[in-house]
Amino acid sequence: MLPLETIAQREALLLAPYAMHTAASAGRRYPEPVHPYRGAFQRDRDRIVHSSAFRRLSHKTQVFTGDLGDYHRTRLTHTLEVASIARTLGRALRLNEDLIEALALAHDIGHPPFGHAGEDTLHECLHDAGGFSHNRQALRICELLETRYPEFPGLNLSVEVLSGQQSRAEKGSAGASPLLEAQVVDAADSVAYDAHDADDALQLGLVTLEELIEVPLWRSAADRIRRRFADLETEALRRAVVHELIDSQVSDLLTATSARLNKEVPATAEAVRALPTLVAPSPSLAAQKIELERFLYAKVYRHPMVLATRTRAQLCLREMFERFMAQPALLPENFAARAASAGLPRTIVDYLAGMTDRFALKEHRRLCGGDA
Q: Would you place residue 173 in the very low, low, confident or very high pLDDT band (cuts 50, 70, 90)?
A: confident
Q: Would you place residue 69 in the very low, low, confident or very high pLDDT band (cuts 50, 70, 90)?
A: low
- Mean per-residue pLDDT, 62-90: 86
Alpha-carbon distance of 223 to 241, in angstroms, equals: 9
5 or 219: which leads in pLDDT: 219
Alpha-carbon distance of 80 to 83, in angstroms, equals: 5
46 or 4: which leads in pLDDT: 46
Alpha-carbon distance of 187 to 279, in angstroms, equals: 7
The answer to whether the beta carbons of residues 242 and 193 sit under 8 Å apart is no
Alpha-carbon distance of 230 to 222, in angstroms, equals: 11
Q: For residues 190-222, b (16+ Cβ closer than 10 Å) or e, as one string?
A: bbbbbbbbbbbbbebebbeeeebbebebbebbb
Q: Model-level pTM?
A: 0.94
* First vs last C-alpha separation in the chain: 60
* pLDDT tens by residue, 197-218: 999 888 888 999 999 999 999 9
Q: Which domains does the chain have, with CATH numbers?
A: 3-368 (1.10.3210.10)
Look at residue 1 and tell me whether its pLDDT is greater than 60: no
- Mean per-residue pLDDT, 355-359: 95
What single-letter DSSP state applies at residue 57? G
Alpha-carbon distance of 134 to 250, in angstroms, equals: 26
The answer to whether the beta carbons of residues 173 and 66 sit under 8 Å apart is no
Look at residue 2 and tell me whether its pLDDT is greater than 70: no
Alpha-carbon distance of 124 to 130, in angstroms, equals: 10
268 φ/ψ sector (left φ>0, alpha ψ -120 to 50, else beta): beta
Q: For residues 239-270, b (16+ Cβ closer than 10 Å) or e, as one string?
A: ebbbebbbebbbebbeebbeeebeeeebeebe
Helix (H, G, I), strand (E, B) or coil at 28: strand
Look at residue 172 and tell me whether its pLDDT is greater than 80: no
Look at residue 364 and tell me whether its pLDDT is greater than 90: yes
Alpha-carbon distance of 123 to 23, in angstroms, equals: 39
Alpha-carbon distance of 139 to 110, in angstroms, equals: 8
Tally Cβ neighbours within 10 Å of residue 30: 11
- What is the widest separation between alpha-carbon atoms in the chain? 66
Angle between helices 115-125 and 344-353 (to 10 degrees): 170
Q: Which residues contact 341 (CB under 8 A, 6 or more apart)?
A: none
Tally Cβ neighbours within 10 Å of residue 161: 26
Angle between helices 234-264 and 283-296 (to 10 degrees): 140
Q: Which residues pair with 158 in a beta bridge?
A: 28
* pLDDT tens by residue, 13-42: 999 999 999 999 999 999 999 898 899 999
Q: Give percent of the chain with pLDDT exceeding 70.
A: 97
